[in-house]
Amino acid sequence: MGAPEGQFTGCPSSTCIFNQFRERVQVQAQQIVVLGTGGTIAGRAQRAADELGYRAGEIGVEQLLEGLPALEGVTVVAEQLAQIDSKDMAFELWRELAARCRHWIEQPQVQGIVITHGTDTLEETAWFLHRVLAPRKPIVLVSAMRPATALSPDGPQNLAEAFTVVRTAGASGVLAVCAGAVHGAADVRKVHPYRVDAFSSGDAGALAYVEAGAVRHVRAWAATIPSHELFDRLQRTAQWPWVEIVHSHAGADGRVVDALASAGVQGLVVAGTGNGSVHAALEQALLRARDAGVRVVRSSRCLEGPVIPLAKEALPCTPLTPAKARVDLLLDLLA
Ligand SMILES: NC(=O)C[C@H](N)C(=O)O
């Protein structure tokens, strides 16, 4: 676990990656904070050769840091916030994650934050943290596709590269590092169920690559303006809004929307076809729901590219993926 608030964890030598000694020191050196949430990066399998039949979120974050290359002049502080498979990510953990990020990021000695996270909902957490914190310092989500017990785990390399990104001058915003690529929160998306290089930023492309321990830029870091307003609203929220995603497809039927609306859904994202188009039967039901007070937003189920808004469309659209559009709608409805 990390140091209690106000206590500084000192590193006895510059070759120490993780401070196991918890000394109080007078002079504050640079810190990187690692927040553990679980995922395959912390997964354990019965046999080393088993790359899919494992349990996510088993190995502690401190253990994941052991054996990584030394970071000169930096103390690493670790906190275990959760041990979950990220498919089970929940609002309460998001809220706690945002609070711990905000706590650490505002401390001058903290260079940035690394969050160990499962790949399944990583893009949603990335977008959530981007919207809520829009940090000037880097917050890097790091994951793996093979469990920590695999013959050749990808987690340690990804972790080392996440540290490289945090230490890169000018790095900012919420980022995801996987398989040598640095993705921005707005574009990152899981695109493969088991390949090690499981993420893509689609036609926008990665922001940077980590090559031989250095970051090569391709695009500028996302511009960020930290705002406390959304964060404060989030901390006050007792009941999270109910927002669902419905898909448009051949033979779509509006009854699913009618059922959700009568059950009290507050927001609906429709994963439309192509440029966010919606089957006529589904659209009629969505318009009925909208008229009854449900917030409705169109996105696209296409893997790449934003929906382009067209004139005279009844339902508003977003360039975000359906999962990220849902995060936006949740946050909008908090108001
Ligand atoms: N590769 C992974 O991390 C998948 C895992 N199910 C998770 O999201 O926690």
* Per-residue pLDDT tens digits for 174-192: 999 999 999 999 999 999 9
Is residue 7 over pLDDT 70? Answer: no
Q: Would you report the helix, strand and coil content of the chain in percent, each value rounded to 5?
A: 30, 25, 50
* Per-residue pLDDT tens digits for 145-168: 999 999 999 999 999 999 999 999
d(CA 267, CA 327): 11
Residue 128 lies in a domain: yes
Residues 292 and 198 placed together within one structural domain of the fold:
no
Is residue 23 over pLDDT 60? Answer: no
* Per-residue pLDDT tens digits for 66-90: 989 888 899 999 999 999 999 999 9
pTM of the model: 0.90
User: Of the candidates 184, 217, 250, which is a domain's last residue?
Assistant: 217
Residues 172 and 43 placed together within one structural domain of the fold:
yes
Which member of 116, 119, 149, 168 is catalytic?
A: 119
> Hey, which residues does 208 pair with through a beta bridge?
182, 217
Going by pLDDT thresholds of 50, 70 and 90, the confidence category of residue 223 is confident
pLDDT score for 311: 87
Q: Take atom 1 of ligand 1 and give the residue whose Cα is closest.
A: 145
Residues 209 and 248 placed together within one structural domain of the fold:
no
pLDDT score for 28: 63
Residue 21 lies in a domain: no
Residues across the chain: 335
Count of structural domains within the chain: 2
Residues 158 and 97 placed together within one structural domain of the fold:
yes
Ligand 1 near 147 CB (within 6 A)? no
pLDDT score for 50: 80
Among 85, 125, 178, name the best residue to mutate to test ligand 1's pocket (greatest count of ligand atoms within 8 A of Cβ): 85
Contact between 115 and 98 under an 8 Å Cβ cutoff? The reply is: no
Give the number of other CB atoms < 10 A from CB of residue 304.
14
Which member of 9, 37, 40, 149 is catalytic?
A: 40
Residues 163 and 90 placed together within one structural domain of the fold:
yes
Residues 192 and 72 placed together within one structural domain of the fold:
yes
Q: What percent of the chain has a predicted confidence (pLDDT) above 90?
A: 83
> What's the whole-number mean pLDDT along residues 208-230?
91
Is pLDDT larger for residue 223 or for residue 131? 131
pLDDT score for 67: 87
pLDDT score for 53: 85
Residues 156 and 123 placed together within one structural domain of the fold:
yes
Here the CATH number for the domain that contains residue 299 is 3.40.50.40
pLDDT score for 26: 41
Is residue 244 over pLDDT 90? Answer: yes
Residues 185 and 256 placed together within one structural domain of the fold:
no
pLDDT score for 225: 84
Q: How many A from CA of 291 to the centre of ligand 1? A: 39
What lies within 8 Å, CB to CB, of 284 at 6+ separation is 254
Is pLDDT larger for residue 256 or for residue 227? 256
> How high is the mean pLDDT of the chain?
91
Contact between 37 and 82 under an 8 Å Cβ cutoff? The reply is: yes
Residues 136 and 258 placed together within one structural domain of the fold:
no
Residue 283 lies in a domain: yes
Residues 58 and 167 placed together within one structural domain of the fold:
yes
Among 87, 154, 159, name the best residue to mutate to test ligand 1's pocket (greatest count of ligand atoms within 8 A of Cβ): 87
Residues 177 and 246 placed together within one structural domain of the fold:
no
* Per-residue pLDDT tens digits for 93-139: 999 999 999 999 999 999 999 999 999 999 999 999 999 999 999 99
Domain range holding 164? Answer: 30-217
